C-alpha cells in the first residue's frame, strides 16, 4: 500500500490549478488566491532567517480582490482581516500592488504568464521578503 504525503498531494493539486490559469488571468481581471512558499525576515544589520507565515504574522493564503482593491486573509488563530490596495499598476507582463497599513509598507509583483509572486514588507525594525504563487479564483 502506498501512502501519499499531504505535502505531495498539495503540490500536485497546486500544479493542476496553476496549469488551468492563462496569462490573462493575472492581469487584474479576476480575483486571485496567493500562497507564500518562501519567507525571509531581516532585522538589524544582516540578522536574516527563513520563517513560516505564522512566524512572520502573514496569512497562509492571501485573497486579492481587484474590484474591491483589497488583500485579505486569516492569520492562524486570528480573525479574517483585510488591507486596502492603494496602487495597482500593470507593466510589461506584471501586476504591481502596493499599500500601507499598521506601520508597514508593502509591494507585491505578480507575473502575468505564470502567476509567480514576490512581495516585500517594510517596517521600522526590518523587512520581510516573500516568494510564492497565485492562481485565479471564481
**Confidence (pLDDT) at 24:** 56
What is d(CA 75, CA 94) in angstroms, rounded to the nearest whole number? 27
Rounded Cα distance, 26 and 121, in Å:
21
CATH number for domain 6-136, candidates 3.40.190, 2.60.40, 2.40.128, 3.40.50: 2.40.128
Mean pLDDT in each 10-residue stretch from start to end of the chain (138 residues)? 36 39 66 95 88 89 95 88 94 94 92 94 92 91
Q: Domain-by-domain residue ranges, the chain?
A: 6-136
* Prediction pTM value: 0.79
Amino acid at each position: 500500500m502506498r501512502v501519499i504525503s499531504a505535502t505531495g498531494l498539495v503540490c500536485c493539486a497546486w500544479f493542476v490549478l496553476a496549469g488551468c490559469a492563462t496569462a490573462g488571468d493575472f492581469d487584474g481581471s479576476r480575483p486571485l488566491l496567493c500562497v507564500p512558499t518562501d519567507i525571509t525576515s531581516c532585522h538589524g544589520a544582516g540578522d536574516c532567517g527563513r520563517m513560516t507565515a505564522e512566524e512572520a504574522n502573514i496569512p497562509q493564503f492571501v485573497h486579492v480582490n481587484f474590484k474591491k482593491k483589497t488583500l485579505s486573509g486569516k492569520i492562524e488563530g486570528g480573525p479574517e482581516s483585510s488591507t486596502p490596495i492603494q496602487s495597482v499598476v500593470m507593466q510589461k507582463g506584471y501586476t504591481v500592488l502596493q499599500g500601507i497599513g499598521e506601520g508597514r509598507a508593502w509591494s507585491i509583483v505578480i507575473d502575468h504568464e505564470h502567476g509567480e509572486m514576490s512581495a516585500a514588507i517594510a517596517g521600522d525594525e526590518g523587512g520581510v521578503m516573500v516568494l510564492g504563487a497565485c492562481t485565479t479564483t471564481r
